[in-house]
Amino acid sequence: MWVEKRHTRIDVLIPSSFSYESHHPIEKIVKIGSVARYLAASRVDTLLIYHEELDSPQRENAEYIKLVMDYLNTAPYLRKKIYPLTSRLRHAGVLPPLNIPTHPEKPDLEVEHYREGLVVSSNRKSIIYAGLNKMLKTDKKFKEGARVIVRMKSSQGKLRLKVYSKKRSKVYSGFRTAIVSERLDKIVKDYDLRIATSRLGVDIRNVWRELREKIEKADKICIVFGSAKRGLKEIAELHGIDYERAFDYVINVFPNQGVRTIRTEEAIAYTLSIFNLILA
């Protein structure tokens, strides 16, 4: 099974305080892992972690979120080579696998498939480890330490492979994660369509047709979520910006909710399911 990257780029923004309120480390890492699954299932391109309080950013928590997200986006057979033993990942065993196309479950070389590889040496040829019982070689020159995508195909009893950079590969290979320190309006200014999610926003049913047309025409879309402590309106005020000017739409994706509050991870799942419906 493999699926292509989206032609429309979707980036998701969450605050650096996400999961901070979780009291137990297992609860915390499971919450982060569930968001990773939602992002990967929706073929999100980038997760951006922003600081809701610019004067006292939660850098340590942001770095932990990024570590877990990067770990999950790494093929399981590469993790021991890339991530040294660390107490920060001691509960990684409870994380749900992403099961994206480049993370094959077993090396069935008779079936055409894609897999993530790590360039372990680069001289005349690039030597790649891709979780098999032998190293792979290609005439393409990749930087040592680079992560690449390998297409494996059996033809007339011979194993044929083609190696791509992650950027050039058409197959969806997970999302990248970055921490950003700017104000929200600065982070989102270059997107074709900027969407904020808020309980105080307009009912999505009232703008559904117009929003759908905008989504279908956009090349780069960002979707921004607030925190457990503050909604986006409060966060925008902390940043000294008007969130109705910073975003094209401020929408309530789950009107008439039957619970007092919708958690950030729930809002991400609900919102991305709507976008996936439009862009599938």
- Taking only the tens place, the pLDDT of each residue in 156-181 is 767 788 999 999 999 999 999 999 99
Reported confidence tier of residue 32, pLDDT bands at 50, 70, 90: very high
**Domain coordinates of the chain in residue numbers?**
9-73+176-279, 113-165
CATH code assigned to 9-73+176-279: 3.40.1280.10
For the whole model, what pTM was predicted? 0.94
For residue 43, count other CB atoms closer than 10 A to its CB.
Answer: 22
**Residue found under tokens 């494996």:** 152
Q: Which residues contact 250 (CB under 8 A, 6 or more apart)?
A: 195, 196, 197, 198, 200, 201, 202, 232, 243, 244
| 100 and 172 Cβ atoms separated by less than 8 Å | yes
pLDDT (tens digit per residue) in 98-148: 999 999 887 666 778 899 999 999 988 999 999 998 899 999 999 999 999
Reported confidence tier of residue 1, pLDDT bands at 50, 70, 90: low
What class is the 113-165 domain? Answer: mainly beta
**Residue found under tokens 């922003």:** 50
pLDDT (tens digit per residue) in 14-26: 999 999 988 899 9
Reported confidence tier of residue 274, pLDDT bands at 50, 70, 90: very high
Output the average pLDDT for the chain.
Answer: 92
142's tokens = 């990749």
| 107 and 94 Cβ atoms separated by less than 8 Å | no
pLDDT of residue 51: 97
| 5 and 170 Cβ atoms separated by less than 8 Å | yes
Determine the 3-state secondary structure of 260 from DSSP.
Answer: coil
**How far are the Cα atoms of 47, 222, 225, 276 from residue 215, in angstroms, in the given order?**
19, 10, 18, 11
pLDDT of residue 111: 78
pLDDT of residue 107: 66
What element of type H or E holds 165? strand 158-165
pLDDT of residue 261: 80
- Can you say whether residue 240 is alpha, beta or left, with left for phi > 0 and alpha for psi between -120 and 50 degrees? left
| 207 and 263 Cβ atoms separated by less than 8 Å | no
